Chains A and B, each alone.
Chain A
């Protein structure tokens, strides 16, 4: 049972990071080069999950994803099932929750690359999209590694948002941190120890990898 929740957590973190890279990359690129006044507003919204208590974020997401919410309602009309207390709902919630941890490193990396390499690539007949994938992204590789690992690790450890939106359904929404909480509640300290240590070691290893890789990557933008 415990390993099921570990596997579920890994799945959730993996899918969430994949979604975040797809959504966060264009958002981070836009933030890095826009002169629009909306920029500060968008930056504030992206950063909100860092300061907001997870239960507050979870509460709003629960309302939004519920069968009568602005996201859950149309979803139910379309698919016949609600989003709250499902794996899909958890992915959507985690995407919001971990957004800043992906967008901010990417934005910083894009800003460090600057607009000049893009200009060069375009003068060499590359379209904007082509230039983005073949020049800007490889030069921002460190940003991607940071975004990937931070987004993954942050999703691994989420608790409040999951509890609000996903509840505690074994194999569907019961993730690692909730399992640990259950064990502690039932005074099953041994199992809690095993899971906590697993999470601790995994997180530590991942962060070590980020810092090592970032130091060794061939591209040094500065």
Chain B
């Protein structure tokens, strides 16, 4: 599998952007961080829109930037599609001509998607003749995604493309972005500060903070990494698990999902039985008890788990990250006081109870 290797450095007044990262060119790779962490800068460097950044960039075997050899491949030759934060549609062209702008400039031999395919999948056929200012924000985003797709890019860069969409429309677009990977093999670099979007879309995450990449890896690993508790807000950490819909309990508004032979309850989902669903168990929502739960407890989701590792402290100092093995990695943030009171040690068996949420679906 080919990788993207990026090393960039760029000095702003009072802010240094300095990254060194590599990630596989497969599926959706999420670039995650709070605003101002340098996510968009990384995306612009990869696109070739920040020629002032010094560094090195390799897309598989293609060298896109190498300052040591004065190599800089211009943006139109990198064959990347970009979906910008604002839709940035051309105001003087109608939707159809916005969509075909890049397609016309893509040699037919490189085209892998047809106009009809894209406009139907994104639901654009109804307003092809309209002007951008006659569209809603969500419709503009979809046109922008379609416009970038129609250049059949070898890498799609998306800078918070769903930020103004409602949940319903996001749900409609998620499967389409997944299909970009699965059916067309277009890798997507997806900048977002929305955890839901990552859990739903990405396999791999690049975690950024203050201009640096603090972690990269598969999302199951990165979000369960307890050592990150010192670096990032603890509410983004937590195990991500792949589950299957096992049944619905509409009278309680719950859905039962199975994973590794166990059952969990989450707020009701509309997905059919048998469908797969990724859920996150946020570390700060996991509580630990020594005794097995009794019928008198209110927690529905309880897993027996072994303590694998303890610490370090969270950023605010009063909590510690406890790494557990419940058949899958699990992460819990508990107070240091509780840690001492329960006398938790590595290797000990505890019971983890939590509220699980299916994010963003």
Which of B21-29, B99-107, B309-317, B353-361 makes up part of the contact surface? B99-107
Cβ of A154 within 8 Å of any chain B Cβ, yes or no, is: no
Query: Cβ of A218 and Cβ of B75 under 8 Å apart?
Result: no
Find residues 20-78 in chain B having any chain A CB closer than 8 Å to their own CB.
Answer: 47, 49, 74-76
Q: In the complex where A130-B105, A218-B131 touch, is A123 in contact with B148 (Cβ < 8 A)?
A: yes
CB distance from B48 to the nearest CB of A (A): 9
- Report B-chain residues with C-beta under 8 Å of the C-beta of A117: 88, 90
Given contacts A119-B49, A130-B105, A218-B131, contact A124 B148 (CB under 8 A): yes
- Closest residue of B by beta carbon distance from A217: B92
Rounded to whole Å, the gap between the CB of B84 and the closest CB of chain A is 7
Q: How far is the CB of A84 from chain B (nearest CB, A)?
A: 44
Known: A119-B49, A130-B105, A220-B133. A124 touches B92 (CB 8 A): no
CB distance B90 to A123 under 8 Å?
A: no
A89 CB, nearest partner CB in chain B, Å: 39
Q: How large is the interface on A (under 10, 10 to 19, 20 to 34, 35 or more residues)?
A: 20 to 34
Q: A116 to B133: give the CA distance in the assembly, Å.
A: 17
Answer whether A125 and B151 are a contact pair too, CB < 8 Å, given A116-B88, A119-B49, A220-B133.
Answer: yes
Chain A residues within an 8 Å CB radius of B240: none
Bound CA span A174–B157, Å: 61
How close is A195's CB to chain B, nearest CB, in angstroms? 40
Return chain A residues, CB-CB under 8 Å to B334: none
Interface string of A211-222 (1 = CB under 8 A from B): 000000011110
Tell me the nearest residue of chain A to B81, going by C-beta. Answer: A123
With both chains docked as a complex, state the minimum distance between the C-beta of A122 and any C-beta of chain B, in angstroms: 5
Query: With an 8 A cutoff between CB atoms, is A91 at the interface?
Result: no
Say whether A191 faces chain B, with CB atoms less than 8 Å apart. no
User: A87 to nearest B CB, angstroms?
Assistant: 37
Q: Which residues of B contact A135 (CB under 8 A)?
A: 90, 92
A interface with B by C-beta (< 8 Å): 116-117, 119-127, 130, 134-135, 138-139, 141, 218-221
Instruction: Give the 5 A-B CB pairs with smallest separation, nearest first.
Output: A124-B102, A125-B105, A123-B82, A138-B92, A219-B92
